[in-house]
Amino acid sequence: MLVPALRRAATRATNIARPRQLRPHALPGPVPLATRHVPRLALPIPQLRRAFSTSLAKAEQASGAGGSAGSPPPPKRKLPRFRTVLKYSAYIVGSTVFGVFVLTGVIFLHDAFTYNEKHIEGVPVEPLALHPERGGPKNLPIVKVYLSDVEDEEASELRTKPHLVIVGGGWGAMGVLNTLNPGDYHVTVVSPETYTTFTPLLPSAAVGTVQVRSLVEPLRKIVARLRGHVLNAKAVDLVMSERLLEVEIVSPADSKHHLYVPYDKLVIAAGSTSTTHGIQGLENCFQLKTIGDAQRIRQRIIDNFEVAALPTTSEEERKRLLSFVVCGGGPTGIETAAEIYDLCQEDIINYYPKICREYVSIHVIQSRSHILNTYSEAISRYAEDKFNRDGVNLVTNARVGSVHPDKVVYTIKGKDGKTEEHEIPANFVLWSTGIAMSPFVARISSLLPNQVHKKAIEVDAHLRVKGAPLGEVYAIGDASTIETSIVAHLLELVDASDKNKDGKIDFEEWQIMVDQIKKRIPMSEEHLSTVRELFDLYDSDADSSLNLNELAVLLQEIGNKITALPATAQVASQQGKYLGRKLSRVARQRPVLAANDLTTNEGDEFVSGPFRYRHLGSLAYIGNAAVFDLGKYSFMGGLVAMYAWRSVYWSEQVSYRTRALLMIDWIVRGIWGRDLSRL
Amino acid sequence: MLVPALRRAATRATNIARPRQLRPHALPGPVPLATRHVPRLALPIPQLRRAFSTSLAKAEQASGAGGSAGSPPPPKRKLPRFRTVLKYSAYIVGSTVFGVFVLTGVIFLHDAFTYNEKHIEGVPVEPLALHPERGGPKNLPIVKVYLSDVEDEEASELRTKPHLVIVGGGWGAMGVLNTLNPGDYHVTVVSPETYTTFTPLLPSAAVGTVQVRSLVEPLRKIVARLRGHVLNAKAVDLVMSERLLEVEIVSPADSKHHLYVPYDKLVIAAGSTSTTHGIQGLENCFQLKTIGDAQRIRQRIIDNFEVAALPTTSEEERKRLLSFVVCGGGPTGIETAAEIYDLCQEDIINYYPKICREYVSIHVIQSRSHILNTYSEAISRYAEDKFNRDGVNLVTNARVGSVHPDKVVYTIKGKDGKTEEHEIPANFVLWSTGIAMSPFVARISSLLPNQVHKKAIEVDAHLRVKGAPLGEVYAIGDASTIETSIVAHLLELVDASDKNKDGKIDFEEWQIMVDQIKKRIPMSEEHLSTVRELFDLYDSDADSSLNLNELAVLLQEIGNKITALPATAQVASQQGKYLGRKLSRVARQRPVLAANDLTTNEGDEFVSGPFRYRHLGSLAYIGNAAVFDLGKYSFMGGLVAMYAWRSVYWSEQVSYRTRALLMIDWIVRGIWGRDLSRL
């Protein structure tokens, strides 16, 4: 708001003596809307605006009125007087104080009326909610009715809707929850945490640049829009034939016990765990996937400095305590290394003995030849230069062998081809090197015979779990991977395309088949653009048609070219949104589907196309600088990029509350630095 | 700022038609300072002020120009038009947005310049800091030199100053640290926590009304002003003969080991633990003394609601989970009960099944006949009424017998004099019933033969630990209690007052003695005001002089009348400030003391009078209402009292940072409610 007004004032002032044809804004006619309305808000202090524009105008007049060549030479003038500047500042400070004061007053007043003495009595409860039936293969209680299910008419109405159960509370689940239409489903979220976490800022939270509570939003607040339910539990097993999800109650206040949650539609958005690569001693490592991880890392870092600051700590021990090792050169690892560097450089140095800063060493161990290797080469190089300048030790082409409580052992291939073993003494090791299946996801994968992927559940282009009853079980985010094998569909494709049933595919039929393939595996599109060339290329016997063998080779090779989607928040979020929208559409189209003799389970293709991922770019913070990989463009730099990085994350927040809290955190850290308390 | 101005405007407006004699404010003469100066800040927008005051003035003019009785009756006038109000609001919003925008910009700019690439190299380190000498009875390393002691000239200079060691990081320690002069002492703070905690708001933090990080300030930031040191350790023992404090390093990242910290002056401000009253099962209780306690309570409360919200939880179990028991009717217990009530009433109800709210019960078990029994009777009654209205169960005259994981057992005396045993099923029990000695304080007490107090270390009126070498060991806050026994000083007093050495005290000598007593035990003052009457009263043989027996009775009975100071933050803080000022004065007077042939250890009486406590009042929050006991006055009420309560605590903060954070917490909670995430 401020900027246009100032620009306008400045334009007005500079335009004073310019010839008319140079000022298109000043042409007669209606003033553009924005220009007309904004100033009132932007410079609400009329006197100030007057003073400001007058002084500007005077200055301009004096200094040659915008530099038009024909004007008289400028007489000598003083710069805007100090008093004006002072007045200007006083007004700004005054109006801020005043405004904040009024705002606070309003909030306090509101605050005052939150008090009420109403007591709730006589909430109706369904007897089934108090004494659930037992059943299923393990004869466990079945949660058919929830406590609030008959609270009011709306809740009772919802009970009759299909039961949608979402396992997990991360990016994928948020995508679904935020796009679902209220009233379409009876929604239950099963999550061991009571909140959703804004994971990309965990590295910031791990050193206190932002507070952990600024990254979380209670799931109950999020499902409130849908009048949904939250089950604070861990999913452990699935009985697909009876549509029962088995969960374990994880509350520490209670002994463990298991329940069945019945579903009509199940969304598995349970995320992943870190891959171990079979390395010894990973229990000595930190991970950075949850709020708890970030809290533990923050404590450990301060701990290390406290012990290093003791006068009785030996020099060797001090070096070990202040050596921070990050295994993995992806965005999480890099950002954590950068944040630890910031912490030391900006805050630790002011409050701990200076000698501590001198002993700090930060190491990144990367198995590839560059850090941020999924980003463009320019970005990798930029980040590496930045880290080298900061004295962060980058160890590339290295393989971590084992992690001990007091050191990390890794090997690199020497120039002579021999592997050399090195070690870094350390009291903080972060492990962030790719994903593996969580136990629940692994269990589901093992239940289905055609699930062979090692890291996730394979789903089709509609995000339905392959092998599960159609339209009942979906998987999204890190827990899932979209099938890329086209050749597995060979026979169906031939069935659908071989119009003349001669067992061969001529070019016309090939065109039909290509459409079919694109529909089933949309990610193959870019590899199928040259229809004619492909046909000719793989028609090895040049008989103007592809037989099954030729087709198999073709489909196999195209399938191999497809890269699976990365396990990122962006993919999970887009999949969640896609699924939420589709599920709502399925619910609303139920009458139409019935009329067309389609069950809702077959309705996915009817109501929606397959999932298509749109890559919006990758970004990473590298310590008072940031890098963006936007596909064709790369953008990297210091201050501006850092603010852009902040803005992107800011806009992606799930609520205005976390947005406000983040902004406050950044401001507080700007004024007072990071909090160095160990809690 | 706004309030006085608005009040003034309002007063002016309401006074319009009142007769002049009713308006003392409007009498001719100088305008009071506050009234004169405030409006400029409060209404910083000139046009607005003009508009506002014009319309007010018009209204005044119209309605009889300030209400002078002889003026013509007011003609009909329209209320300020809607447009004016709109304009007014737009200005406020505009100026706020503008101000906040500028502020944010400034902060972000500042932020941008926090980045620097400087590297610290070659910080000098004293070899002794790396390899400390060993010594003392246990042959432990002695921390004579700290890592940063030779960092620069100022640090080297400080090394030569007397070593002041402060045990503890609470209110007492803050008092000392904030009043000490920089450069007078080489200061070391020994604390197992790295931060100081604003304890009075812990009940708020326990339910999430404020964040725990808003209540803490790192000790290292606080000692930075004095270029002091922080030793993150637990004091365990003291060798007074060699002036060595034995500490245990408590960092979890390190194995435990012990050190000696040498001191010239030691301040014991180690606080207290909760008293057990010999009750079984206190390990099943929560306490509320530290940040960790507040975090655990918050988790437990949300846990209880999460498990209660499960459809498979039985009704009985649900009632137990949602039964919150507070043992102890003092301020901490009462505030916690009130905050839990607020949480349920304002937030839980919106996001958990409504049935949960119905099952919530809050119980306060108090051993006395009233809650808040140290406050005035009116306040106790007000608080009790408020709690009864809210349905909080107050159990008075009750004695807790034992605490079990699932219930609290207590006894009350029935009407027939028999004790009846009752129990309350509960999954949350808070224990807050008075204090006991922490292990370190108990150890010191056991080292000194004349220390017989059960709950704290006895100190003299100068806060010096009784029995320790004079002027070397001080104790303040909960860890200490000022001696109240006058009779223990009988012989010294007679020595000093019996001028004619006849072994009897005549009235003249008695007057001298009274002065002596007041100097040694200032708390006896109010009981010694009637000098003549006392003399006559206790002169049992009416020989116009007091013999030793008569004196002993007199002094014993006066001593019995003195009540020890309560174990409150207020006392600790005042003692700390007194001590800090005195220690600085002692340091500066060293040449004078030397000239007068007094060692610094005897200088306490020379530079300063004894400690005098000034009670500023007690206050407590009781759930959208607050009570103040200001000695002669009591003040209690809803909104206004609550804001007064907030203001008092706000002004007592140790830093602007925590002030800002608290204000933000209150605003955030006002807009979005409490965060219900369990972390």
The full DSSP string for A310-336 is STTS-HHHHHHHTEEEEE--SHHHHHH
Closest Cβ opposite residue A194 in set B129, B252, B306: B306
pLDDT at residue A429 greater than cutoff 90: yes
Could you tell me the pLDDT band of residue B254, with boundaries at 50, 70 and 90? low
> Is residue A582 situated within a structural domain?
no
* A665 in reach of chain B (CB within 8 A): no
Lowest mean pLDDT among A504-513, B16-25, B555-564: B16-25
Could you tell me the pLDDT band of residue B60, with boundaries at 50, 70 and 90? very low
- For residue range A251-282, list pLDDT tens digits in order: 655 577 899 999 999 999 999 888 877 888 88
Instruction: Give yes or no: residues A401 and A531 share one domain.
Output: no
Q: Which two tokens stand for residue A236?
A: 């452990």
pLDDT at residue A37 greater than cutoff 60: no
Determine, for residues B667 and A107 on separate chains, whether the beta-carbon distance falls below 8 Å: yes
Could you tell me the pLDDT band of residue A65, with boundaries at 50, 70 and 90? very low
Higher-pLDDT residue of A11 and A391 is A391
Could you tell me the pLDDT band of residue A9, with boundaries at 50, 70 and 90? very low
pLDDT in the model for residue A639: 75
Rg of chain A, C-alpha, whole Å = 31
pLDDT in the model for residue A266: 96
Determine, for residues B216 and A679 on separate chains, whether the beta-carbon distance falls below 8 Å: yes
Lowest mean pLDDT among A342-346, B93-97, B393-397: B93-97
pLDDT at residue A7 greater than cutoff 80: no
pLDDT at residue B20 greater than cutoff 60: no
- For residue range B522-553, list pLDDT tens digits in order: 888 888 888 888 888 888 787 888 888 888 88
Closest Cβ opposite residue B353 in set A151, A233, A638: A151
Cβ count within 10 A of residue B224: 14
pLDDT in the model for residue A236: 95
Q: How far apart are CA A371 and CA A364, in angstroms?
A: 9
* B354 in reach of chain A (CB within 8 A): yes
Determine, for residues A44 and B357 on separate chains, whether the beta-carbon distance falls below 8 Å: no
Determine, for residues A100 and B98 on separate chains, whether the beta-carbon distance falls below 8 Å: no
Q: How far apart are CA A152 and CA B375, in angstroms?
A: 45
Determine, for residues B47 and A42 on separate chains, whether the beta-carbon distance falls below 8 Å: no
Torsion B295-B298-B302-B304 (CA) sign: positive
Which of left, alpha, beta for A354 (phi over 0: left; psi -120 to 50: alpha)?
A: alpha
B30: Cβ contacts below 8 Å, ≥ 6 apart? B36
> Is residue B291 situated within a structural domain?
yes
Q: How far apart are CA A464 and CA A581, in angstroms?
A: 15
Average pLDDT over residues B84-111: 73
Instruction: Give yes or no: residues A371 and A502 share one domain.
Output: no
pLDDT at residue A172 greater than cutoff 90: yes
The total number of structural domains that make up chain A: 3
Instruction: Give yes or no: residues B181 and B204 share one domain.
Output: yes
CA distance to B255, B326, B335, B380, B476, per residue, from B331 (Å): 39, 11, 6, 11, 21
Determine, for residues A98 and B108 on separate chains, whether the beta-carbon distance falls below 8 Å: no
Higher-pLDDT residue of B477 and B35 is B477
Instruction: Give yes or no: residues B357 and B500 share one domain.
Output: no
Chain A residues near residue B90 by CB distance under 8 angstroms? 40-41, 44
* A323 in reach of chain B (CB within 8 A): no
Instruction: Give yes or no: residues A288 and A422 share one domain.
Output: yes
pLDDT in the model for residue B209: 92
Instruction: Give yes or no: residues B493 and B461 share one domain.
Output: no
A196: Cβ contacts below 8 Å, ≥ 6 apart? A169, A170, A173, A174, A216, A217, A219, A222, A654
Q: Which of B38, B103, B354, B388 is the best residue to mutate to test the A interface, defined by the most A CB atoms within 10 Å of its own CB?
A: B354
Assess contact for B592 and B603: CB atoms under 8 A.
Answer: no
SS3 assignment, position A8: helix
Average pLDDT over residues A293-308: 92
DSSP string spanning A341-397?
A: HHHIIIIIHHHS-HHHHHH-EEEEE-SSSSTTTTS-HHHHHHHHHHHHHHT-EEE-S
Instruction: Give yes or no: residues B312 and B233 share one domain.
Output: no
Lowest mean pLDDT among A39-43, A255-259, A376-380, B606-610: A39-43
Instruction: Give yes or no: residues A295 and A418 share one domain.
Output: yes
Instruction: Give yes or no: residues B460 and B577 share one domain.
Output: yes
Higher-pLDDT residue of A378 and A251 is A378
Assess contact for B486 and B555: CB atoms under 8 A.
Answer: yes
Could you tell me the pLDDT band of residue A431, with boundaries at 50, 70 and 90? very high
- For residue range B334-380, list pLDDT tens digits in order: 999 999 999 998 889 889 888 777 889 999 999 888 898 888 888 88
Q: How far apart are CA A27 and CA A5, in angstroms?
A: 19
- Mark which of A512, A547, A562 sits at the end of a domain: A562
pLDDT in the model for residue B74: 47
Percentage of chain B beyond pLDDT 90 is 34
Supply the range of the domain harboring residue B293. Answer: 282-430
Higher-pLDDT residue of A273 and B642 is A273
> Is residue A167 situated within a structural domain?
no
Residue of B nearest to A291 (CA): B679
Torsion A36-A39-A44-A50 (CA) sign: negative
At A20, the amino acid letter reads R
Percentage of chain A beyond pLDDT 90 is 34
At A17, the amino acid letter reads A
pLDDT in the model for residue B449: 87
Q: What is the pTM of this model?
A: 0.82
Chain B residues near residue A217 by CB distance under 8 angstroms? 677
> Is residue A358 situated within a structural domain?
yes
Closest Cβ opposite residue A95 in set B44, B311, B427: B44
* B250 in reach of chain A (CB within 8 A): no
pLDDT in the model for residue A417: 78
The residue whose two tokens read 């028999």 is: B418
* A43 in reach of chain B (CB within 8 A): yes
The whole-angstrom distance between B328's CA and the closest CA on chain A is 24
* A2 in reach of chain B (CB within 8 A): yes
Assess contact for B267 and B389: CB atoms under 8 A.
Answer: no
- For residue range A111-142, list pLDDT tens digits in order: 666 555 555 666 777 777 777 888 889 999 99
Determine, for residues A354 and B671 on separate chains, whether the beta-carbon distance falls below 8 Å: no
Q: How far apart are CA A568 and CA A579, in angstroms?
A: 17
The whole-angstrom distance between B188's CA and the closest CA on chain A is 12
* Mean pLDDT (chain B, rounded): 81
pLDDT at residue B431 greater than cutoff 90: yes
> Is residue B98 situated within a structural domain?
no
Determine, for residues A353 and B146 on separate chains, whether the beta-carbon distance falls below 8 Å: yes
* A123 in reach of chain B (CB within 8 A): yes
CA distance to A106, A343, A497, per residue, from B8 (Å): 19, 49, 87
Closest Cβ opposite residue A108 in set B345, B354, B643: B643
Average pLDDT over residues A605-626: 85
Q: Which two tokens stand for residue B468?
A: 């320790």
Instruction: Give yes or no: residues A305 and A402 share one domain.
Output: yes
- Bridge-based pairing of strands B216-218 and B195-197 is antiparallel
* B419 in reach of chain A (CB within 8 A): no
How many helices and strands in chain A, by DSSP H and E? 25, 27
Residue of B nearest to A290 (CA): B679
Determine, for residues B254 and A307 on separate chains, whether the beta-carbon distance falls below 8 Å: yes
> Is residue A547 situated within a structural domain?
yes
* B293 in reach of chain A (CB within 8 A): no
Q: How far apart are CA A40 and CA A240, in angstroms?
A: 63
* B146 in reach of chain A (CB within 8 A): yes
* A117 in reach of chain B (CB within 8 A): yes
Taking Cα atoms as reference points, which of A312, A144, A181, A279 lies closest to residue A585?
A181
Cβ count within 10 A of residue B637: 13
Q: How far apart are CA A598 and CA B176, in angstroms?
A: 79
Higher-pLDDT residue of A663 and B597 is A663
> Is residue B94 situated within a structural domain?
no
Q: How far apart are CA B516 and CA B509, in angstroms?
A: 10
CA distance to A231, A349, A673, B46, per residue, from A676 (Å): 35, 11, 9, 44
Q: Tell me whether residue A663 is exposed, middle or buried, using C-beta atoms within 10 angstroms of its C-beta: 0 to 12, 13 to 18, 19 or more.
A: middle
Higher-pLDDT residue of A299 and B48 is A299
* B222 in reach of chain A (CB within 8 A): no
CATH number at residue B373: 3.50.50.100
pLDDT in the model for residue A435: 85
Higher-pLDDT residue of B236 and A9 is B236
Closest Cβ opposite residue A312 in set B107, B117, B132: B132
The whole-angstrom distance between B291's CA and the closest CA on chain A is 8
- For residue range B482-517, list pLDDT tens digits in order: 988 888 888 888 888 888 888 788 888 888 888 888
pLDDT at residue A480 greater than cutoff 90: yes
Instruction: Give yes or no: residues A411 and A510 share one domain.
Output: no
DSSP string spanning A149-194?
A: TTSSHHHHHHHTSPEEEEE--SHHHHHHHHHSPTTS-EEEEEESSS
CATH number at residue A527: 1.10.238.10
Chain A residues near residue B639 by CB distance under 8 angstroms? 112
Residue of B nearest to A301 (CA): B253
The residue whose two tokens read 């030729």 is: A550
Which value does ipTM take for this structure? 0.81
pLDDT in the model for residue A487: 84
CA distance to A187, A188, A570, A664, per residue, from A457 (Å): 23, 21, 18, 40
Instruction: Give yes or no: residues B61 and B130 share one domain.
Output: no
- For residue range A82-94, list pLDDT tens digits in order: 777 777 777 777 7
DSSP string spanning A556-569?
A: HHHHHHPPPPPS-H
Taking Cα atoms as reference points, which of A431, A381, A443, A382 lies closest to residue A403?
A431
pLDDT at residue B285 greater than cutoff 80: yes
Residue of A nearest to B40 (CA): A94
- Mark which of A407, A431, A455 sits at the end of a domain: A431
* Mean pLDDT (chain A, rounded): 81
> Is residue A417 situated within a structural domain?
yes
Q: Tell me whether residue B411 is exposed, middle or buried, using C-beta atoms within 10 angstroms of its C-beta: 0 to 12, 13 to 18, 19 or more.
A: middle
Q: How far apart are CA B619 and CA B624, in angstroms?
A: 14
